[in-house]
Amino acid sequence: MPIVQTNGINMAYEERGSGDPVICIMGVTAPGAVWEAHAQAWEKHFRCILGDNRGVGSTDKPEGPYTTAMMADDYAGLMDKLGIKKARVVGCSLGSVVAQQLALRHPDKVQSAILMCTWARQDRFGLYTWQHLMNCKATMRPEVFMQYVQMLIFTKPWFDNDDCWNNMQNDLKSTAIGAAPQPVHAMEAQAAAAMNHNTLNELKNIKCPVLVIGGKNDAFTPRWMSEEVAAGIPGADLHLYDNAGHAFHWECLSDFNPRTTEWLLKH
């Protein structure tokens, strides 16, 4: 993977497709390759930049804590190194709050933004969940931690589908025998960014077009979080999927890919 120096770290990224740029920012523990199911659709129309966030994949993993502002500056620097003056931005979970900060701190760089399973602030339940996630990461074997994450992000229809179930089992096997997992310190540093993120009083300053999208049955970032963000950003669009959770973008892939592609083409 190509590497650039940005904001004091070496950051890895992948490019897919051609056209106007789309910066894709993934969630906690997830490298840019996790965008694969969506990049296959978007790369037909756009130059997709899939970054490995600070703390994961082939990007540097310095000691934390990290902040969403810091991670947004990482991506601003990546854009500068790639000669990208302005781009559409898509962020998922932790990536969505980094995208918020990118739009707030570097508004001239963001043409539009899709915020997936997003939040403006955490409440006690959210902080409790993040703390438990960190405890599990520190104490569980990688494949057992992966099993817990699957239970957290997928909903019953996904478990009931034979193909989806088999894919989950294969993911567990791959995790058990795969490459070295994300270090605990890096996951905790990313989690700190997620837990301390609070833009509730700043959302009104985001002026670019925004689509907030999520699942109504999300147990990790409940729907009120998406609704609060959409209400706080002037003119933001909101779409919440029925019977879908934190991983709604995979659970509802056949609708999500064309829906987001159409929105990006318009904005």
pLDDT tens profile 143-152: 899 999 999 9
Q: Identify the domain containing residue 246 by its residue range.
A: 3-266
For residue 174, name the pLDDT band (cuts at 50, 70, 90).
confident
Position 171 scores a pLDDT of 85
Please, what sign has the CA dihedral across residues 64, 181, 34, 32? Answer: positive
DSSP state letter for 233: S
Q: Express each pLDDT in 27-74 by its tens digit.
A: 999 999 999 999 999 999 999 999 999 999 999 999 999 999 999 999
Structure tokens given for 30: 């997830």
Determine the 3-state secondary structure of 215 from DSSP. Answer: strand
Domain count for the chain? 1
Structure tokens given for 183: 């270090």
- With beta carbons less than 8 A apart as the criterion, state whether 186 and 134 touch: no
Identify the CATH number of the domain in which residue 246 sits.
3.40.50.1820
Residue 154 CB contacts under 8 Å (≥ 6 apart), including other chains: 164, 168, 245, 246, 247, 251
The CA dihedral of 230, 256, 216, 231, to the nearest 10 degrees, is 10
Nearest 5°: the CA angle 139, 193, 39 is: 90
* Encoded amino acid at 52, one letter: D
